[in-house]
Amino acid sequence: MDNRPIGVFDSGLGGLTAVKELEQVLPGESVVYFGDTGRVPYGTRSPETVRAYARQDMAFLMSQGVKAVLAACGTVSSLAGDIGRSLPVPYFDVVEPTARAAFAATKNGRVGVTGTNATVRSGSYEKALQALDPGLAITAAPCPLFVPLVENGFLDPDDPVTLEIARRYLEPLKAQSVDTVILGCTHFPLLRPVIARVMGPQTRLIDSGREAALALAEALEVQGLLCGPDRPRQAAFFVTDDPEGFCRVAEPFLGHSVEGAVAQVTVE
């Protein structure tokens, strides 16, 4: 048994999709969430900047006494995994479990990858997929405007702006007849309805936040790090920008209020 909380971090609010999944698969576990809302997005930054931010984010979570760290950020997962693996607690990211799920899901061997510019440039998902099957046909499409759309609440699949941006970004995937699409940024599941509308009902969408949460839950159970059965669950949220704005956007996606549980911090 280990009653310490699980640490989760992301560049903004996208990592809340992973927190929501953790609340479902590990309902008794406490969580400390860090969203770097003052520096979002990470996907347009240089690799050096992303790595510097990731190091600061992980250090903050370690200061909160967490028993494991989940990088619920495709960009960090793609560019700073070595930093996470050097932590003194178990580290998890989104790339490997998501690639495994996409490999298991595809029927025609054609997989699409969506992500930030930095994630797509890194080729992390392609490498992970090809390690599983070199014969897979992989098409990657950077979707840099998806993160600001999510952060600013443009989620309606009938919104003409959101729909047109999605159509433009996803056209290369449709042209290659992919049957499985990796949502390679934890912000992207919040746009799942519009992505599904563009790609069509036959396309399987792989949620990187969900796959990472499932992998973490399995690993903690195997390693005997789950909390005790009678331990009351607690959740704390930390951001680097206005907590009020975070509270307003977070509640609809988590399905519960985070009022009173969010604090603003500085990690630089």
HEC string of 141-177 equals EECCCHHHHHHCCCCCCCCHHHHHHHHHHHHHHHHCC
> What average pLDDT does this structure show over 89-110?
97
Task: Output the pLDDT for position 249.
Answer: 85
Give the CATH number of domain 6-94+210-264.
3.40.50.1860
Quick one: what percent of the chain has pLDDT higher than 70? 100
> What average pLDDT does this structure show over 73-78?
96
User: Would the pTM count as exceeding 0.85?
Assistant: yes
Classify domain 95-208 at the CATH topology level: Rossmann fold (3.40.50)
- In the chain, the DSSP E strands lie at 6-10, 31-35, 68-71, 91-93, 110-115, 137-142, 180-183, 204-207, 235-239, 262-264
- In 54-136, the DSSP E strands lie at 68-71, 91-93, 110-115
* 247 assigned to active site: no
Residue at 74: amino acid letter:
G
Say how far apart CA 23 and CA 233 lie, in whole Å: 10
Task: Output the pLDDT for position 268.
Answer: 81
Q: Which of 143, 185, 227, 247 is catalytic?
A: 185
**Chain centre to alpha carbon of residue 255:** 18
- How do residues 149-191 score in pLDDT, each as one tens digit? 988 889 999 999 999 999 999 999 999 999 999 999 999 999 9
- How do residues 168-177 score in pLDDT, each as one tens digit? 999 999 999 9
* Mean pLDDT score of the chain: 95
Tokens 């959740």 belong to residue: 235
| Residue 211 host element (H or E) | helix 208-222
In this predicted structure, the answer to whether residue 252 has a pLDDT above a threshold of 90 is: no
Domain boundaries, the chain: 6-94+210-264, 95-208
- How do residues 116-131 score in pLDDT, each as one tens digit? 999 999 999 999 999 9
* 227 assigned to active site: no
- How do residues 192-251 score in pLDDT, each as one tens digit? 999 999 999 999 999 999 999 999 999 999 999 999 877 788 999 999 999 998 998 888
Do 95-208 and 6-94+210-264 fall under one CATH topology? yes
